[in-house]
Amino acid sequence: MRKQVIDVSRIGRPLAAPSEAVPATGRLLDRLERPLTDLRISVTDRCNFRCSYCMPKEVFDKDYQYLPHSALLSFEEIARLARIFASHGVNKIRLTGGEPLLRKNLELLIEQLAEIRTPDGLPLDLTLTTNGSLLARKAAALKAAGLKRVTVSLDGLDDVVFRSMNDVDFPVAQVLAGITAAQDAGLGPIKVNMVVKRGTNDQEIVPMARHFRDTGVVLRFIEYMDVGATNGWRMDEVLPSAEVIRKIAEVFPLKPLEAASAGETAQRWAYEDGRGEIGVISSVTQAFCSDCSRARLSTEGRLYLCLFASAGHDLRPLLRGDADDSAIASAVGHIWQGRADRYSELRALLPAASGEADGTPRRVEMSYIGG
C-alpha cells in the first residue's frame, strides 16, 4: 500500500486584515532585525521531473492530487502581491515551481512583474529557476517579456547519472541546449545549481566544474537538504561543502571571494587563473539563517517564512475579498514582523523525524514552494 502523504500545502493559518496598520515604508524588519528583500513565487506545484530529493516518483505518482487550476493565483493576483511586497522593500523576485515553465503563458506574468518599481524607482531583479527541460524553446520569449536571469538545476553531466536522478529518463543534452539558448538570449549571468548527494552524483563535481569553467556560467553546489518529508533525507548522504571545495581545488586552485550582496546564500570562490567562479550553498553544515531575507509565496497564495516551514499564512482570502492594498500590506507587515525562523541553526536540536511518530508538524515540500 502506498504511503499516505499529509498534504501540508493545504494547511494555512487563518488570516484577516489586521486592525493596526503597518505602513509600507520600503523597509520591513523581522524579530531578528532581518529585512524583507527577496520574494520567491511558486507559479505551479507540477513538475515534469521526479528527482528523488524533491518529488520522488513513489509519492508523486499518477494518482497524486495536484492543486486545481481554480485554486492557483491568477497572474493579476500575483502581480498585485508583488507590488505590495515591493512597497515593503522587496527588490528581487524569483519565479519557481515545481517547474515554472509548465505554467501556460508565463511570459504574460513576467511582463506584469517587469513593470513594477521599488520605492526608489528601480525595476525588480526578476529571475527564474528551471530544470531546463523547456528552456531552449522559451528562452527568447522570456527575455523579451522582461526576465533578467535564469538559474538552471543540473545534477550531473553523465547522461546515465542525470537520467537516473531526474527519474523520467530526460537527457542531459537537452538541458545543456537550454543553457546555451539562455546565454544566446542574454539571460545572464546564468547560474547552474547542482544538488550533491553523497554516493549518488558526487563523482560529477569535478566534471561539472571543468565543463562550466571559462563559460561565464556560475556553478553552485548545494548540500542535500532535509526539505519536506518525502525525500528520505539522511545526514550520511550529505557531502559537506568543504569537501566539494577540496575536490575542485585539487584540480583547479581556488581563492575565496567576498559576498556579492548582504544575505547571499552562496559562499563564492574564484579560480585562481581567473577563468570564472563557483559557489557553495551550505544550509546543512554552515547555516545562514542570520542573514536570511527571503519569503516564499505558494502557487495558491500562502506565505511561508522559511524553506523548512510546516505551515503558511493564507493571503488568498484577502486578495479575493474586499481588502485593499494597504490592508494586505499591513497583513504582510504583521507576518514578517513576527518572524523568528532559523531552522538551519537549530537543526541539531530538533527531532530527526518530521511529522512521523513524534507528532511534530510535517514540513512543506520543496516542490510546493520552490528551493
Looking only at the bridges linking them, the beta strands covering 277-281 and 218-223 are: parallel
- The least confident of 19-33, 126-140, 180-194 is 19-33
Q: What number is the average pLDDT over the span 90-99?
A: 97
pLDDT given for residue 99 in this prediction: 97
Residue type for position 30: D
Q: Which long-range contacts (CB under 8 A, 24 or more apart) does 159-163 make?
A: 161/200, 161/201, 161/203, 161/204
The interaxial angle of helices 241-249 and 205-212, nearest 10 deg, is: 60
pLDDT (tens digit per residue) in 275-298: 999 999 987 877 678 889 999 999
32-49 pLDDT per residue, tens: 999 999 999 999 999 999
Does residue 231 form part of some domain?
Answer: yes
- Find out whether 303 and 313 touch, Cβ atoms under 8 Å: yes
Q: Which residue has the cell 490592508?
A: 327
pLDDT for residue 209 is more than 80 = yes
Query: Residue 169: how many CB atoms within 10 A of its CB?
Result: 9
Mean pLDDT of 190-213: 96
Rounded Cα gap, residues 287 and 278, in angstroms = 19
Chain centroid to CA 112: 21
Q: Is the model's pLDDT at 356 over the cut of 80? A: no
Provide the residue range defining the domain that includes 98. Answer: 8-369
* Angle, CA of 152, 221 and 242, to the nearest 5°: 175
Mean pLDDT value of segment 127-148: 98
Report the mean per-residue pLDDT for the chain. 88
Question: Can you give the CATH number for the domain in which 96 is found?
Answer: 3.20.20.70
Q: Does some domain include residue 318?
A: yes
The stretch 222-236 carries a mean pLDDT of 67
Average pLDDT over residues 309-331: 93
Go through the chain and tell me how many residues it has: 371
154-173 pLDDT tens trace: 999 999 999 999 999 999 99
Beta-strand pair 125-130/218-223: unpaired
Contact call for residues 307 and 281 (beta carbons, < 8 A):
no
- Between the two ends of the chain, the Cα-to-Cα distance in Å is 30
- Measured from the Cβ of residue 259, the count of other Cβ atoms closer than 10 Å reads 13
**194: closest CA among 239, 236, 233, 152?**
152
Backbone angles phi, psi at 255, to 5 degrees: -140, 145
pLDDT of amino acid 2: 35
pLDDT in tens, 97-111: 999 999 999 999 999
41 inside domain = yes
Amino acid at position 338, single letter: G
Q: Is 142 helix (H, G, I), strand (E, B) or coil?
A: helix
What cell does 276 get? 570564472
Residue 367: the pLDDT is 62
Residue 355 lies in a domain: yes
Residue 3 covered by a domain: no
Residue recorded with cell 481588502? 323
> Largest alpha-carbon pair distance within the chain?
61
Average confidence (pLDDT) over 209-237: 81
Give the mean model confidence (pLDDT) for residues 319-337.
95
Q: Is residue 2 part of a domain?
A: no
Report pLDDT for 190. Answer: 98
**pLDDT at residue 87 tops 70:** yes
If one compares 64 and 226, the residue with the highest pLDDT of the two is 64
Which cell is 117 given? 518599481
Q: How far is Cα 92 from Cα 242, in angstroms, rounded to an integer? A: 29
CB–CB of 62/168 below 8 Å? Answer: no
The tally of domains found in the chain comes to: 1
pLDDT value at 233 more than 80: no
Q: Grid coordinates representing 157?
A: 553531466
pLDDT at 346 over 80: no
pLDDT at 11 over 50: no
* 128 occurs within a structural domain: yes
pLDDT at residue 349 is higher than 80: no
Is there a domain that residue 229 lies in?
Answer: yes
